[in-house]
Amino acid sequence: MKRFKKIIRKKPIATDEDDQLSQKITNENITEHREEVIQAGRKFKYPMAVTKNRLVAVSLMVGLVAFIILFSVVTAMLYQTKSTAPYLQKVTRVVPFPIARIGSDFVLYEDYLFEVNHYAFYYKNQQKLDLKSESGKAQMSEYKKRALEKVMNDAYVKQIAKKNNITVSDKEVDQTLAILKSQNRLGASDEEFKTTLREYWDWSVSDFKRSLKLQILNQKVLEYLDKDTSAKANDAYVKLQSGVPFDQLATQVSEDTVTKAQGGALGLVDKNNKDISPFTVDAIYKLDVGQFSKPINIGYGLEIVKNNEKSDDKVKASHIVFNFKAMNDFLNPIKEQNKARLYIKN
């Protein structure tokens, strides 16, 4: 028993680590202790850093594989099955898949889907056309051909515009939009306008402006290409300035077969008249009585208008019209010289 007590009372043998721990931390050795702690922490830091790097690498690899799979699926849907599903338009807005190539310029698939989908939306929701029926499929097939032709024509127009420094500014688009709104051609209010765009075409205001901008560009390019019509309109304007009576000249040179015999008389025009071009109405209301305008581009031709008389909020007006040739008359020779390469079969 005594021996057992001696064993219990015996002091434990001190180790080097115990001696180190028993040392007091003083101002003289605090730096040394700090380095020891940091060194011990580094043993855990480096394995964690390696693990994080591996996680990043794995995540990147998974993301890359997912992108490749998605890219392959979308490519097959666009070029093999030629799907025009609306969500594909969203994808092609992010990834610029081409539908054709003209020279060094690519024609974007999204431009084609933009045309097809607003048409499909209108006929499905407003005309209640079953797009899966035989008649629906036939109609969509025909429209897809027309949409592709339009997109290709627009691509050639853009090339011509770029080559000849023909542009359309956002200000011009806004001004045209303001003209349409002032004549109540887009609904009674902005909210009604937005609702109409959404319910009829599944468009936003930005989508409408995009379409309008392209329309204005086509008008400008057509005027540039049709030099004969421009020359005739300018010649008529010079004659009017020299004193030739408006009605007399209209009878002689106007290409509007309906009003030509009446000296170009349009009758009474009000701001909400939708039977004539909005640009015609806008020009008429900017003139004082007795004044005539310079040639204005109304889309299908060049027009000179005259304010003959004002009656309350209406204007008695006349016009002289020079019709443009068809755009294809100018584009077809260009298409022959610079043929496009289509990536889908029409």
65 band by pLDDT with thresholds 50, 70 and 90: confident
Contact of 196 with 187, CB cutoff 8 Å:
yes
Q: Judge whether residue 16 has pLDDT over 60.
A: no
Q: Judge whether residue 32 has pLDDT over 70.
A: no
pLDDT of residue 209: 98
Contact of 260 with 284, CB cutoff 8 Å:
no
pLDDT in tens, 120-142: 999 999 999 999 999 999 999 99
What average pLDDT does range 268-286 have in this prediction?
Answer: 93
Rounded to the nearest integer, the mean pLDDT of the chain is: 88
pLDDT > 70 fraction of the chain, expressed in percent and rounded: 84
Model-wide pTM > 0.85: no
pLDDT in tens, 247-260: 999 999 999 999 99
Residue type, 17: E
Q: Report the chain's C-alpha Rg in angstroms.
A: 38
Determine the number of helices (DSSP H) and then strands (DSSP E) in the chain: 13, 7
276 band by pLDDT with thresholds 50, 70 and 90: very high
Spatial distance between the Cα atoms of 260 and 321, rounded to a whole number of angstroms: 9
Spatial distance between the Cα atoms of 273 and 169, rounded to a whole number of angstroms: 27
What average pLDDT does range 236-242 have in this prediction?
Answer: 98
pLDDT in tens, 76-121: 888 888 899 998 999 999 999 999 999 999 999 999 999 999 999 9
In CATH terms, the fold of domain 228-325 is: Chitinase A; domain 3 (3.10.50)
What is Dmax (Cα atoms) for the chain? 145
60 band by pLDDT with thresholds 50, 70 and 90: confident
Q: Which of 60-69, 293-302, 308-317 has the highest mean pLDDT?
A: 293-302
pLDDT in tens, 201-234: 999 999 999 999 999 999 999 999 999 999 999 9
DSSP states of 4-44? HHHHHHSPPPP-HHHHHHHSPP-TTTHHHHHHHHHHHHHHH
pLDDT > 90 fraction of the chain, expressed in percent and rounded: 69
pLDDT of residue 24: 59
